[in-house]
Every structure is written in C-alpha cells, then in structure tokens.
Structure 1
Amino acid sequence: MDLGRVAREQAKKVLPSAAQSYLRQELPAWKKHLRRNQSYVANALSARAFTSALRSPIRPKTVVWESFAGNGALCNPEALFRAMIDGPRYAEFTHTWVLSRKASDSAFLTEFAGHPRVHFVDHKTPEYYRVLETSQYLVNNATFPTDFIKRPEQTYLNTWHGTPLKKMGYDIADGAVDSRNILRNFMSADYLLAQNSFMTEQMYLSAYRLRNVFEGAIIEEGYPRTDHMFGPGAWVHARQVLRDRGIDAGSRKVLTFAPTWRGESFSRPDVDVQALRETIGALRRHPQLRDWVILLKAHQVVYEQLKDDPDLASVLVPNDVPANEVLALSDLLVSDYSSIFVDYLASGRPLALHIPDVHSYSDSRGLYLDIEQMPGPVSTTSTELLDNVTRILAGGGLDEPFPAAAHRYRQLAARFTPHDDGDVSRRIIDVVFNGNEDGYRVRRGFRDGRTRLAIYLGGMITNGITSSALNLLSRLDPNTYDVTALYCRSDSPDYRANAALIPDHVRHVVRDPGLLQYALQASMDELVKAPDDWRNAHLADAGLWQWEWRRLFGDADFDAAIDFSGYSNYWTRLMLHGSAPRKAIWLHDDLRADAEREIDGERPHRDNLYGVFKLYRGFDALVSVSPGLSRINAESLQEFAPAAKFVSARNTIDVERVLSGTDQIRFSASDAPTMSLNRLTDVIAELGRLYSYDTVVAEASRQQLVSTFISRGNWTTFVTVGWLSPEKNHARLIRAFARVHEQNENTRLLIIGDGPLRGELTALTQSLGIAEWVVFTGWLRDPFALMAECDCFVMSSNYEGQPDVILEARVLGLPVVTTHFGSVHSAMAGGGGLIVGQDVEALAEGMRSFIRGEVRAEPFDGGAYNAEVIGEFHAAVFGTGTAARPTAREGVPNRR
C-alpha cells in the first residue's frame, strides 16, 4: 500500500487547498527523514549485534563463505566448499553462506536449502555480523566490510579472484584510497591464496605493499576454482549444470565470450551493451560456427545490467553458474584482460583475445601484460575477430596459424597455471583446515629488516601539521624505514590534494567509520568527563580500542606507533593501543595555552585536548618540535606525565620542493611548441598541452603579481606566509608595516595565506590607508616561487611550535625579521636574520633595519639540517642516544 497516496487522498477531503499544497511540499522532506531514521535504526541494530558478537565465544568448526559481497556462491570459495561439504573428515563442520538479495533465487541456494549443516545469511544484516565475528573459519574471494574485525581465534583465508592482468592497488594512479579496504582485509588474513608466484610478488607484496606488514602465509598451490575444469566427469557435469539452467549444449562444441568489466569503479561498472550484442551477433552469424553453441559469460558485477536484455537471453550464462564450469566445456575462449583466460591456459585449448579498447584501456587502467605478450591473436574489430577465429578453426588450434602466440601461450601457462591440476582444493583445505603445511608451497616471513613505523598524519587539511607531516615522510629514508601513514577518508579537494603529496613508497591506511563508532564515541565522552588527575585514563576501555586497531591494521605489527597530530583523543587513544612496543605523540604548540585559548568567548579545543593530556602517561615519548617548546610543555603539563617523557625533535623541511618552486616552468626540446604562437588562443592551447590548466593559471597569476606589485620600480617587498588566525598576529605586522611605509613609500607587503581573520585584516589595511601597498594572495599550494621574488621574510607570531616557514625562507636565501617566541631560536640557529620584541614598534624597527642593509641572509644547508633532524626523530621515538632537550635560554611565548 502506498501510504503517501492514501494520506494525500484523505487530506483532500478534510484540508483546505493551502494545507494540501503545504503537505505536497513537505512530503519529500518527510520521506527523506524517514529513510534517514530507518538507516539509523538499522545501523544501531547492526552495531549492537556486532559488539555483542565480539564479546561472544568463537564457535568451533564453523565456516563463513563469501564471494563478491554475497553476489553468489562463486569462484574459489564455491569450489572449496564443494570439496569440503561431503568429505567425511569434515562431517562435523557447519557452513554459513553469505548471499545478498541479488542471489536469493540462485540454484545454489535451492540445492542446499535443506542441508542440515548449511545455512544462509543476507549481507550486512545483524545476523551476518553475528556469524562473521563468531565463526572459527572465514573464507572470502574479495573483502569483508569495513566494520569487520578478525579476532585472534579466527582463521581467515582470502583467496582473491584471479591472477591480475590489470594493474592493482598502488600500481594504479591514486590507487591507495580505493585500495584501503582490500589492504585492511589482506593484513587481517591468516592465509592469502596465490595462483602463482607472480601473484605473490606483483600483487600481494608489491601492489598492495604487504611486505613487512603481512604476518600470515601465502599459499602458492593454484586456484581451487580451476578444479571444475579437470577430471573425467568435468565435461559431462558442466553440460548438465548448463542444461539445468536452460542452456542445452548437447554434444556440440562451445565458444565462450568472457569479457571483463570496464569503468573506474568495481561497484559501478560501465557496460556497452550494444558492443556486446554486435560481437555476439557476429560470432553467431559466422559460417564455421553455425553448429557451435555461443555463450556469453559476463563478469559478475555487470550481470544485473544484462540479464533482462532479450537479444542476449539465449546466450547469457546465469551469474550463479561458476565461470570455470563454463570453461570446462569451452572448446574456444574469446576474452580480453579478464583473469578468466589465465585459468583457461591450464586447459591447453585455444584462445583468442578481443580488445576493441586496447589502447584506451591500457592508458586508463594500466596493464601488467602488454599486447605483445598476449597468449593468442588480438583483435580490435569484429572483422578481425572473425578472421582470427576462422584461422584457429582451420588450423585446429594456435600452432599453425599463430605460432608466436602459441609459444607465448605455453610460456604463460607454465608461469601462471603450473599448479592448476584438478586437485587444488584438497591441498588448500589440508593447509587451512588441518594445519598441514609440510610439502606444500606455503611462504611465510615477509620482513626485510627495515624499521616499521605507523604514523597518524592528522586531518590532512592544509595547515602546519600537514605540511610538517608530509615533509617528514619525504625525508624518512625508505631503505631504513617502512612507513605506514594513517589518516581518515574524506572527499574534500584539499584533503585529496594533500594525500596525493604522500611519497610513493609510503603505505596508506585510510580509515572509514565502522560499527564500533558508537562504542568508541561513548568511550571518548567518558574520557572527557573524567577528572584531570585520572592516572589510569590510558588503560580505560583498552580492549575496545585494541579492537579498533585490529579493524584498521589486522595482524600487522610495527616498531613504533606515532600520533603526529596530537590534537584528537580518538587518534591519540588509537595509537596508544596499537601493536607497537614504542608509542610517541607530537606536541606542535604550547598545548596548555591552546586548550585555554578563547575564540568568540569559547574554548573550542579545551575538552578534546584535556582528553589527550590524560592519555600522555601511556606514551613513551612526548615530542615537542623545538627544545624551548619542550620545556614549556613539560612545565605546563607536568601533572599529566613525568618530565623525562618530554623530548624534542625539530620538523624537517622539503628542500627540493621549496627550490623546485623557484625553478620556473620549462619544457624539454622534445616538448617544444608544435604550432605558431602568434595568436593568444594558440598560446593557451599549447600551454594546455604541456601543463595542466591549473598550473598555467597559477603561473599567470604569479607573474602578474610579480610584474605589477613586486618588481615594478625600486621597491622593497616584505612577505609573510601563514594561516590568518589570532596567534599569527598579522594585525601587528600590518600596523608595523604602516609605520615603515609612512617613512619609506617604496615598500610593499605581501601576505600569503588565508583564514578566519582575512576580512578583519583587509579592513585594517583600509583604515590605516595602506590597502594599495598590501596584497592578500589567499592560500597558495606552492608559495615558494612568489616568496623568492620578495626581499625580506617577516613573521609576527605570538608563538609557534616550530616556524617551518622561516626555514623555508632561509632555504630560498631570504633574510628574516621575526618576533621573539619560544621556538624561534631553533629556526634561526646560525643567524640569517633579526629577532625582535613582540610589539609593533620593535617589529617596525626590525623592518627598517633591513631597509638600511643591517639584516642579511646567511647560508643555510637544508640537507645537513634535515640529517640532524632525522637523528632527533629516531632518538625521540625510540629513546636511543640523547634526544634534543630544551635549553634554559630560550624564551617563553607570549600567552595573550
């Protein structure tokens, strides 16, 4: 019954027209709220079932089987299940299959519906989470959801679903975020299944960065699903399976067309139905295939989009028929970059490749196997495909018409399917369920001796902490450190741009919320309410936070867990309960002052930061970013941790990035312009070919600013860079500049950055009558080229953790005039500028000193500085040597 329609009909009878109109307008919003509330209720029920299951005992001899998020009983799990269900040795095992609503009418479900030891659950229901977290064995060919936590008492086998020919994981551009749940599942697994050693090395260890963090075993014994292709009864059985599903092949030969999916997302594939119709039609009209059966085995993620197409109905193999059942009776396979053709190599029967989009597919996705390496003739049009099929049929295989392809076929078969012999399932079951590894190809021990670090980077918004974190990652030698960066997923452009700056060698663990979130939030609320002297705060709810760590990192171990942000009690608590013998947290500012700072009458950071302070006692090192700041934090936070835990390590700087910003855009001779540049439209088109348009616009803006504001005339240009917030005190700088400019009109001030005070600061320049000589650029991702055009860097902060921008200015060779604050000496070591008092006239006099030629830059060796800092970092985190200690001479920041 449509309750909305009934309500509208009743409203017409009793309400005036104006009220009826109001109801029509409000009904969509009411429906939206209803759906949202239904979602909240469903999540709450699932969360309750999930947390209850985590506290329940593991049920022995129980197995959960899942393929493609419950899309069917398919692939390797289906083959293993069938090999196990009737084995007398496993008669006491009970089995739960995960089948989504899409698979609710599958023949598999009908086949086992009455079986006393086989049960079924719908994907992501409360019952699903209950069995998932309480069964002894878990088998999946893809991934369990982001909520899943593999308990220590469970055994998890991930079989995956094919030898990859398309690039995977981190081998894909920007693949780290999209791979987050796959990596999480792999790190949680006790066993990973590899069809061959290529899959172990290229996919698991390299593309998914499992070296050093995978603690389980990789089994290289072939693929269970290929068992369907072998044995004396395989051919007969496969034909019977298809006959039962309405496809009667009789004794005729079979050609199977099995393309892979296309698109950017596995969950939202693109399907060119018309192209499939044309290819199938061309094959069916081929004279030499007149007596053949033509079948279309679509990838399981696109099946739903094809199953109701009348033109494909007679050839489309039902989704719940395992692909290898079809391969068992296929006399000729036509495929593309689908891993199904790797399985088929084990049969020795001929293969043709039809890849109309070979070039665009290769460019967009990337491939491990070039077109020249394919084990069969390749076609890009239907005409070419039919010609290749004709020659294969006439020659009785590949050897006569395509000898080079036949040679590649044999080479790839030996490389990719050396163990697919019809007995794979038995071997895998013996390893996983009986614990027998002797005599089998089981690989363990994937550590290479590097120091393993897990580092929480912070919120990944553009600020000083993110910049410092990215600089640190770029300076940690990948030959010495194996680094895992942890951060939370976001779709904001700012976040994505910063995530893209993480060095290529760094592993990403990207957090999505899970069903534990409700319990975690309650635990955080309790921590905030607890008294400040609660000495055992770091031990409270330890089991809950260890679960969350296992959810994100599985069984991975690290030598150190580092909270590089230090501003969120969720992340601080998570890192505190990580599986690492050393725990360190970074202190980027005078945090007691941060906690007490008022903004618009509120103290926005107080509750959260005091929650963080209560956890300090559980850390081995509380690392401030300068010796002076370490002393300040040790004094102001002494009730939360002993003084010996407060150490320091300065921030690194990305010297290469700073200097590359000053090296104006160039192109090589091979990229030289290819057309006349007499017209502006041609110039822009050519620049767009060589560089991104964002880069072109940014450079045009920079050059316009340089020519009109900085370089014009005999001017002195001061520059500052920073977030426009109270502690940076740009207002003091603007007032100081106004005094300088009053005496010297040939002065300019460039303020690079953005923030909440921009409007207020702009109004201040207008009220002082200097708006014409002060420019606010807004935020710039790479400000260094613009900084390099200026004459003197100036800073007016009340306090800083460590002023990285001063170091960057020194790398650029700029002299520095800065106010005095606690960490300023660590950035100004060796000279290079002038430190002045924290008042307007002192800053103005410092700027006048530069104009008089009394402030000069000094040489600054950024490489040597970074080498020292990495030594400080290691000493602070691991307690080795002498970590930098504060000196009594450094000043205390002004805490206004």
Structure 2
Amino acid sequence: MSNIITEEIKLKYIEYYKDHKLQKNHVLYEAYGGRGLVCNPYGLFKAFIKRQDFRKYQHFWVIEDFEANDSFTREYQSMNNVHFVRYQSEDYVKHLATAGYLINNVSFPPYFTPRKKQIYINCWHGIPWRKIGFDMENGNVDTRNTIRNFLAADYIITPNDFMTSIFRKTFKLEGIYPGKLIPVNQPRTDLLFSTKKETMIQKLHNYGIKLEEHKNLILYVPTCRERENQCPDIHHIEEYLKLLEILEQQLNTEQYQVLMKPHQILYEYLKKNKLGSKKIIPAEIDTNEMLAITDILISDYSSIYYDFLETEKPVLFYIPDGDQYKKDMESYHSAVEMPGPTFKSADKLTQCILEEQWKHPVYQTVYQKQKQWTNPWQNKHSGEKVWEIVLDGRHRNSLISLKNKKKKILIYGSDLRGNGVTQSLLSLLEQMNYEKYDVSVLAVLNAKNTNGDMIESVDSRARVLTQIGKINGTKEEMSIYDTIIEKGLSSFDAVKNYPKSLFRREFQRMFGWTKFDCVIEFTGYSPHYGMLFLASGAKRKMIWQHNDLGSERKRAVHGNQSLEQILNVVFSTYPFYDKIVSCSQSVMELNKKTLSNIWTRKKFTYARNTFSINRIYNAIEKNPFLEIGQKDYYILQEQQNENDNQIEMQLLPLPEKDHKVFITMGRLSPEKNHHNLILAFHRLQKEYPKTILFILGDGPLKENLQNEIRKLHLENQVFLTGNIRNPFALIQKADCFILTSNYEGQPMSVLEVRVLKIPVIISDFTTRKDICIPNGQLIVQKDPDSIFQGMKKMCQGTVCNYNFSPEEYNQSAYLEFEALLK
C-alpha cells in the first residue's frame, strides 16, 4: 500500500476545494496519518457520540490499513453516519476539501489548504518528554509541515500551562497564530474513565490476544529512541522482548499478565518480523483504552505515563542505558524526581513489583505533584467541553489568544545559499529589534536538501518557516501561472490575467490565516515569490535590489544570458510593490536610472546592508590551522571516517612568512572579473615571485579559472579554495584584500575585511562610493595592467591607514531599514 502523494491526488483535491461546497455537518477525523481510531481524535469522536446531535452529522475516519482496522470498521457498521475513507484516496481528498470540521492530532499533508468557514481542530498527540518543534536539532526544517498546520488551525488543544508554553515558545506561535488555544485535558484521557474491561477483552481477542480477566495487567510501554525518520535499533528491540521474558519468568503468572504496547515505529518492525505477536498490542488499539485496564505501567520516559497518572495506579521506569538515553533524548524534564522507581536492572524491577516499592511516600508525593501539573483542569469530560466550545459557543471566555501588538514581518530568504545576500539577511536578523517586530523568515530547501545547516543558522529569535509542498492549482490555473512566471506582468493583458485567487490560495496553504503587516522579498531574484507576495494581503510590500541589476540582467555564463528572463519577470512586479529597496544609495541611483518608469520612479529607496561583526570575531578566535613538519596548513575541510575513527582533512598549504599574500572572496562568475585578476597576478609574479593569491568562493567559472591557472603555470601560486566555513581566519593572514569586480551592489566582503584592518584594493565599479572611506582603499581600473599596478604598489609598501567602526556603521544601516517599516 502506497501513501505517496501523486500529482493526480493533488489535482483532485484542488478540484474538490474549488468546485464543491463546504459540507457543514461533515466531520473528518485523522490520527497519525490514518493509523486508526486512536488518540485525541478518538477521544473527540467518542465524546461526540454522547451528544444529542450526533446523528445530524456525518463522521468520516481516515484509515491507512483497512485490514488492520477491520474490527473497528465492523464495530461501527451499524451506524449509518460513520464512514471510513482510505488515506490519500480520492475519497480522502474530497472530504479533506469539503468537510466542515477537520480533526487531526499531527498534521495534514502539504497540499492541504484551509478554506473559509472550515473549522480545523488540532489536538496534538501528547505532552512531550523530549524536545520538539524549534527546540530540535533540525527544528527549522523538521517542523515545517507541523507549523504550517498549526497556522491553519482554528483551535489547538492545550492540556496544561507547560503545553501552552510549548505552543507559545517552542513552536513560536506567539504573535503569529490567529486562532485560539482550548485549555482542556487531552480528550483521549476521557477514555481512562469510560472504557470497560469486557470491551477490551473483545477488542484484543479480535487481534488474537487473550486478556485474562482475573489477572493484574502489567503493560510495558517503551518509547522509540530514534526519531520518526529512522529505523529502530535491533538491540533495543531485543532488549524490550527480553524484559517481557524476564518478567514472566520471575513473576507469578497466576497473578500477573504482561503485555507490551510499543511505539508505532517499533510495532511496525515487530509486526513485519513476527516477533512477540501474542504479547504485542497493535498500534490500531488506542493506548488510553489499554491504560484504563492496566494495573501497573512500565515506561522508559514515554510521555504516555503522564496520562496514566490520572488512574492513581503505579508507574515504574525501566531504562537499562539510562545515562546514554537521557543524553540522546534532550529532555525538557528532570529525571531526578519521578512518580515511581527507576531501574537499570530487570531483576530489580521485578523485585520492586513483588515488594510494591512504589508505595514509598517519596514516590507518592511526586506522583500527586505531577498529576496536578499534567492535568490542572481535573476534567474527565474534556472531549465534551471541546465540542461545547466549537459547536455550541460555550466557554468562549476560557480560550487563550497568542496575539500580541508587534508588527508581523515576513522575509523571503530563498535557500540561504552561501553568498552576500544571505549574509546580509543573517546579519539583519541579528540587528532586528525583536521587542517591536515579530519576524518570520521564509526559507527553501534546495533540490538536494543540503542547505539544512544554513537554515538552522538563522538567529533563533526569528521564526523560520521552511517551505514544504508546491503551488497547487487546476490545469487551467497552472497554465496561466506558467505563462505569468515566464513572461511576467509587463502588459495590460498579463496584469489582467494575474491569477490572484491562485496566489492567495497558495499563501493560505503556506501560512494559514496569518496576516502579516509587511512582506519583504529580500533576494530580489524570485519570479514565483515576487508574484506570491503581491497576493499576501500585507499592508506593506517591499522588494530588494542587491546589485546593479541592469548589468546583472546582461550577465552571461558560458554564453547563456541566464538571468535576463528571470529578472525581466521580477522587474514586471515592481509597480505592485510599495517600496523597491536597494542595498545602498549609489545602487539605488543606478537602478533607478536604468529600471524605473512612471509607475515605479517614486518607489525607489535604499537601506544599506548590515553585517555580522560577531561572525568575524568568532571566526578569528578559532584556530583552523595545522603544522606538519614545520610547514603550516589551513584546514579547508575535515570529517571523521566512521569506519576507523580517523579524521580526514583537506589542507591548504600556507606560504612562507616572507611572502606577500593577496586574497579575494566572491562567487566565481563573470562579473567578479577573476580572469583579469589572474592575468595581473601572473605579471606580478615575474617581478615579485614571493607572492601568493588565494581566491575564495565557488561558481560556474571554476573550471575555466582552473584551466587558466594551469595554462599560466601558477598552480603553486594561485589557489581556488572553494567555499570555506571560516574565511576570516584565512583572510587575517593576508597582506591585502583585492576586489576587481566589473560591477557590484554593496560588496559586504569589503566591509567585513575592514574589521580586520587589512589593506584593500577595489576596482572602479560604479557603486564603489558606498564602501569607500578616507585612506581606506586603493582604487584601480578593471583591466589587467591597472590591477597589476595596484598590486605592485602594495608590494612596494603602500599602506591604507583608515578608521572604521563596524558598530557605528551597523547602527546607522539598521535605522535605515527600520525607517522603511514605519
């Protein structure tokens, strides 16, 4: 059975979305992507059954595996208003698009788009023990569909103050979430008090498990050590099964029955390999219904034990590798105070059961404290209260709002590739006044998913919304979209045909019902996002210019004018933005001269880029150098070989101390004029052989430049390093920084190297005046002879004596940016 999201399914979804009315009396329930009738959606469903208006509604359950859920579908077959639909089927997308009420304990697929008057209740699947959301190691990427769903939800259930804080801070919903939190205990815990043992005997019997009614049930509930995209460790599986065996050997089997309810990932492995089948509770059986008939719970910090505290029955903890487990878990909670004894030894665990050690007063005190913390509302009818709020309009004064008075700003940062635009954005985010502004950064994973580290590097005070899924329209809409993206809005007919409803829907798909005060297309190069932001509904829309775009439009790589079509489309969106913002005054003047028209002339303005001072200082404090046999090397890359634990390094040889070192940094593309720089350096070598040139960066001309270096026999004097993690440690070793570009915007590299007080040579590109300071640079023309003369002067002892305060510069530049937001 496949859960792959096909283009056909996405198209069906949007057709139902657009062409079919909302069915106000339809309710769609989904738990864990169709696992079955479990968790909080099941608790809400059971609560709905008790309502007098239950029969007035049609209830649709999402099921992934109908065979595994056969007994449940048969259980409700007599109710003609309860239906079951297969996950990712046409029926599924039909009801997802048209049901008046949507219930989910995780998230709907990336193509899901909220629609007006459709009520979405997200009933998150528990109180976490280990870190989730943006607190995870790769939280900026891994949370992308979860956050998208939260922003689309009208209500999110929060069972206690801790979970309210999780939604507010850990998922960063404060200030951006337009819905309301419902403060009630988890609806699934209602099942602890309404489930009958005889019912569970029959349910388990349907799966071939015999529940012995006269015995005390010990339920072992191990969590999954691995994250959801990882396979379970076979060592852990064997450990779980071994515990079951020991418990049965050492306990009185006439008094106790031992069963295991593993995490879904573990269960799938056990089921596939046919391990412990008569003792393993299927994933399709609700955990809380099992807890209702459990006499002793054994856990390993599975957060399900929080639910069990409501029963007042004993809970024990078995963690044989406790220290390592705590380290791997990255927990929110201390393992020091637990509501029951903790063991590393299975023998001591069984001894505890025999001696009832959990009755010790210390454990009882913690037990009651945690019970009160877990469920402060003390409500055994939480599901009913949720429906009273949503359907009957009662208890509205108990709802929690996460809104605040900060201005909400959305900034598009693309894939945060390693270039000057990205560094400008990252620096701006460091400078932002987060007391005044709520800042979201829209990031995009690249095609190979290799830019996760850059996405994670964004200032944690900002919220990263990593794009997931793609724009989804009908065939007719996508045909119009393709034309607009290719040709832009440069004609009256194009503007007239701009698919505003498609882009508005896409904005809703990505950001739910969130309303931003200001949207910023910070890259200035994206036709899609440039068009999308026009439909954002934001009060202020701005688009950035980081370069001399008239010249950039003409830039050719390997004979192809690769940016002309893209930039022409971007330029066509300018009349519909409120501000067109250049990265410096001279860039603004140049772009205004070459790109403005009667609709845009008054929209041109500028705000200089800031740059990260801490990034430079932190970099130079590190020591990425290595001495081997009295020879110094710079460590370009290093990684540990998993097979033999050896560290593999890529090293760059450093010159002797009597050599002059020139260094440049930038993309290896035509506008950077590296070809003429290499020709000039070749001539310099003849007069000053003790010179070295480092070229930092990567790009489409790398192979051409390598060939040029070989042709001139400069392999031991000119080095292409590629992109390196710590360029400033190497730059600090240089005698001169040189930038010979044909054109630039506001080259951040010049500002950055000024922090290191290094002499600077720059070419006479049009916008250079924005980075020139008194006695701060030697200016040359762009031809090889002029570049050579400049480098020669540096070799002869010409020194740039300048004063530069990076702090004062950043403060002034940031105020220019903030002025645009007023």
TM over 0.5: yes
- Number of the residue aligned with 2:632: none
Structure 1: which amino acid aligns with 2:225?
R
Percent identity (aligned): 29
Please point out which of 753, 771, 775 is paired with 2:697: 753
Residues 534, 819 of structure 1: alpha-carbon distance in 2 compared, 3 angstrom cutoff: farther
- Number of the residue aligned with 2:87: 123
**1:457-484 alpha-carbon deviations (Å, 9 max, x no partner):** 1232222222222222222243343221
On the 8 A contact 2:611/2:748 being kept in 1, the answer is: yes
Counterparts of 1:77-226 in structure 2, within 5 Å, are: 77-101=41-65, 105-201=69-165, 203-226=166-189
Structure 2: which amino acid aligns with 1:404?
V
**1:730-777 alpha-carbon deviations (Å, 9 max, x no partner):** 112122233333333343322222222233323334444555432322
**1:503-562 alpha-carbon deviations (Å, 9 max, x no partner):** 222222111224617767534421123673348639711111111111111122222111
Q: Report the Cα distance in structure 2 between the residues aligned to 1:267 and 1:565, rounded to whole angstroms.
A: 35
Residues 536, 627 of structure 1: alpha-carbon distance in 2 compared, 3 angstrom cutoff: farther
On the 8 A contact 2:10/2:111 being kept in 1, the answer is: no
On the 8 A contact 1:229/1:328 being kept in 2, the answer is: yes
- Number of the residue aligned with 2:330: 366
Q: Report the Cα distance in structure 1 between the residues aligned to 2:449 and 2:8, rounded to whole angstroms.
A: 31
Please point out which of 404, 415, 426 is paired with 1:470: 426
Residues 433, 796 of structure 1: alpha-carbon distance in 2 compared, 3 angstrom cutoff: same
Q: Report the Cα distance in structure 2 between the residues aligned to 1:289 and 1:450, rounded to whole angstroms.
A: 62
Secondary structure of the residue aligned to 1:62 is strand
Residues 84, 312 of structure 1: alpha-carbon distance in 2 compared, 3 angstrom cutoff: same
Deviation of the 1:487 alpha carbon: 1.6
Please point out which of 832, 835, 839 is paired with 2:776: 832
Residues 615, 367 of structure 1: alpha-carbon distance in 2 compared, 3 angstrom cutoff: same
Please point out which of 224, 241, 250 is paired with 1:261: 224
Structure 2: which amino acid aligns with 1:701?
L
Residues 320, 836 of structure 1: alpha-carbon distance in 2 compared, 3 angstrom cutoff: same
On the 8 A contact 2:217/2:256 being kept in 1, the answer is: yes
Structure 2: which amino acid aligns with 1:228?
L
Counterparts of 1:57-456 in structure 2, within 5 Å, are: 57-101=21-65, 105-201=69-165, 203-230=166-193, 234-243=196-205, 245=207, 246-265=209-228, 268-270=231-233, 272-307=236-271, 312-392=276-356, 398-399=358-359, 402-438=360-396, 441-444=398-401, 446-456=402-412
Secondary structure of the residue aligned to 1:616 is helix
On the 8 A contact 1:538/1:573 being kept in 2, the answer is: no
Structure 1 position 701 matched with structure 2 position 651 = yes
On the 8 A contact 1:76/1:161 being kept in 2, the answer is: yes
Any gaps of 5 or more consecutive residues in structure 2?
Answer: 630-634
Structure 1: which amino acid aligns with 2:592?
A
Q: Report the Cα distance in structure 2 between the residues aligned to 1:344 and 1:696, rounded to whole angstroms.
A: 47
Deviation of the 1:235 alpha carbon: 4.6
Q: Report the Cα distance in structure 2 between the residues aligned to 1:701 and 1:307, rounded to whole angstroms.
A: 50
Deviation of the 1:62 alpha carbon: 1.0
Please point out which of 432, 451, 469 is paired with 1:513: 469
- Number of the residue aligned with 1:7: none
Deviation of the 1:493 alpha carbon: 6.8
On the 8 A contact 1:595/1:605 being kept in 2, the answer is: yes
Structure 2: which amino acid aligns with 1:111?
E
On the 8 A contact 1:106/1:320 being kept in 2, the answer is: no
Residues 212, 267 of structure 1: alpha-carbon distance in 2 compared, 3 angstrom cutoff: farther
Residues 800, 150 of structure 1: alpha-carbon distance in 2 compared, 3 angstrom cutoff: same
- Number of the residue aligned with 1:504: 460
Structure 1 position 736 matched with structure 2 position 700 = no
Q: Report the Cα distance in structure 2 between the residues aligned to 1:725 and 1:418, rounded to whole angstroms.
A: 62
Please point out which of 514, 530, 533 is paired with 1:556: 514
Q: Which moved more, 1:494-503 or 1:423-432?
A: 494-503
On the 8 A contact 1:353/1:379 being kept in 2, the answer is: yes
Q: Report the Cα distance in structure 2 between the residues aligned to 1:277 and 1:494, rounded to whole angstroms.
A: 38
Secondary structure of the residue aligned to 2:440 is strand
Deviation of the 1:129 alpha carbon: 1.3
Q: Which moved more, 1:184-193 or 1:629-638?
A: 629-638
Structure 1 position 652 matched with structure 2 position 610 = yes
Any gaps of 5 or more consecutive residues in structure 1?
Answer: 1-34, 668-676, 679-683, 881-896
On the 8 A contact 1:47/1:515 being kept in 2, the answer is: no
Residues 855, 135 of structure 1: alpha-carbon distance in 2 compared, 3 angstrom cutoff: same
On the 8 A contact 1:261/1:302 being kept in 2, the answer is: yes
Structure 1 position 525 matched with structure 2 position 489 = no
Residues 106, 355 of structure 1: alpha-carbon distance in 2 compared, 3 angstrom cutoff: farther
Residues 764, 655 of structure 1: alpha-carbon distance in 2 compared, 3 angstrom cutoff: same
- Number of the residue aligned with 1:671: none
Q: Report the Cα distance in structure 1 between the residues aligned to 2:77 and 2:813, rounded to whole angstroms.
A: 65
- Number of the residue aligned with 1:892: none
Structure 1 position 598 matched with structure 2 position 562 = no
Q: Report the Cα distance in structure 2 between the residues aligned to 1:217 and 1:383, rounded to whole angstroms.
A: 48
Secondary structure of the residue aligned to 2:819 is helix
RMSD, aligned α-carbons: 3.0
Q: Which moved more, 1:531-540 or 1:166-175?
A: 531-540
Q: Which moved more, 1:488-497 or 1:817-826?
A: 488-497
Deviation of the 1:840 alpha carbon: 2.6
Q: Report the Cα distance in structure 1 between the residues aligned to 2:169 and 2:67, rounded to whole angstroms.
A: 34
On the 8 A contact 1:172/1:365 being kept in 2, the answer is: no
Deviation of the 1:317 alpha carbon: 2.2
Structure 1 position 783 matched with structure 2 position 740 = no
Q: Report the Cα distance in structure 2 between the residues aligned to 1:410 and 1:841, rounded to whole angstroms.
A: 82
Secondary structure of the residue aligned to 1:346 is helix
**1:326-367 alpha-carbon deviations (Å, 9 max, x no partner):** 111111111122221101111111110112232222222311
Secondary structure of the residue aligned to 1:799 is coil
Residues 640, 749 of structure 1: alpha-carbon distance in 2 compared, 3 angstrom cutoff: farther
Structure 2: which amino acid aligns with 1:720?
T
Q: Report the Cα distance in structure 2 between the residues aligned to 1:200 and 1:731, rounded to whole angstroms.
A: 58
Residues 185, 538 of structure 1: alpha-carbon distance in 2 compared, 3 angstrom cutoff: farther
- Number of the residue aligned with 1:712: 657
Q: Report the Cα distance in structure 2 between the residues aligned to 1:45 and 1:289, rounded to whole angstroms.
A: 52
Structure 1: which amino acid aligns with 2:400?
R
Structure 2: which amino acid aligns with 1:423?
H
On the 8 A contact 2:427/2:610 being kept in 1, the answer is: yes
Residues 641, 249 of structure 1: alpha-carbon distance in 2 compared, 3 angstrom cutoff: farther
Residues 827, 308 of structure 1: alpha-carbon distance in 2 compared, 3 angstrom cutoff: closer
Residues 521, 841 of structure 1: alpha-carbon distance in 2 compared, 3 angstrom cutoff: farther
Q: Which moved more, 1:802-811 or 1:566-575?
A: 566-575
Residues 626, 358 of structure 1: alpha-carbon distance in 2 compared, 3 angstrom cutoff: same
Q: Report the Cα distance in structure 1 between the residues aligned to 2:264 and 2:454, rounded to whole angstroms.
A: 35
- Number of the residue aligned with 1:804: 748
Q: Report the Cα distance in structure 1 between the residues aligned to 2:646 and 2:786, rounded to whole angstroms.
A: 39
**1:822-879 alpha-carbon deviations (Å, 9 max, x no partner):** 2211122344112233333332232233334444141211111111111111223x2x
Q: Report the Cα distance in structure 1 between the residues aligned to 2:779 and 2:227, rounded to whole angstroms.
A: 54
Deviation of the 1:189 alpha carbon: 0.8
Secondary structure of the residue aligned to 2:590 is helix
| Count of residues paired in the alignment | 807
Deviation of the 1:131 alpha carbon: 0.9
Secondary structure of the residue aligned to 2:681 is helix
On the 8 A contact 1:814/1:857 being kept in 2, the answer is: no
Q: Report the Cα distance in structure 2 between the residues aligned to 1:590 and 1:695, rounded to whole angstroms.
A: 47
Residues 867, 51 of structure 1: alpha-carbon distance in 2 compared, 3 angstrom cutoff: farther
Residues 369, 651 of structure 1: alpha-carbon distance in 2 compared, 3 angstrom cutoff: same
Structure 2: which amino acid aligns with 1:478?
Y
Deviation of the 1:185 alpha carbon: 0.8
